[in-house]
Amino acid sequence: SQQGEEDPQALSIQEGENATMNCSYKTSINNLQWYRQNSGRGLVHLILIRSNEREKHSGRLRVTLDTSKKSSSLLITASRAADTASYFCATDALGYGQNFVFGPGTRLSVLP
């Protein structure tokens, strides 16, 4: 069964607004990561949050992690058209071996 699931599947906002995406997972993790993928391209690493951390910031990105609820959120503030992409969370689920398990992603559209 899939480890990570992003919510919503698709999100459309106006430039300047904030975008929030959520990720839920099922088993214990060491860390959780968020990646961005522009259409037809490879994935770009955004941020890593460890299981003993609750919040991390990187520029306009804010990630939270709630291990009790097995969920994480990615907030993009003051969105730009260039933020239009698919966003994936990936977990290194304990017991799933060395690979990362990705969710299906949230497709974000930022309208100018």
Q: Which is nearer to other proteins, 16 or 104 (CB)?
A: 104
Question: What is each CA distance from 27 to 58, 68, 101, in whole angstroms?
Answer: 26, 11, 11
Q: Which is nearer to other proteins, 18 or 30 (CB)?
A: 30
Q: Which is nearer to other proteins, 3 or 79 (CB)?
A: 3
CB 83 within 8 A of CB 108: yes
* 77 Cβ contact list (under 8 Å, min separation 6): 18, 60, 61, 62
Six token digits for residue 74: 């990615």
Count of residues of this chain found to bind other proteins when the rule CB under 8 A is applied: 24
Find the binding residues for other proteins in span 10-69 (CB under 8 A).
Answer: 30-31, 33, 35, 40-45, 48
Site residues (vs other proteins, CB under 8 A):
4, 30-31, 33, 35, 40-45, 48, 88, 90, 92, 97-105
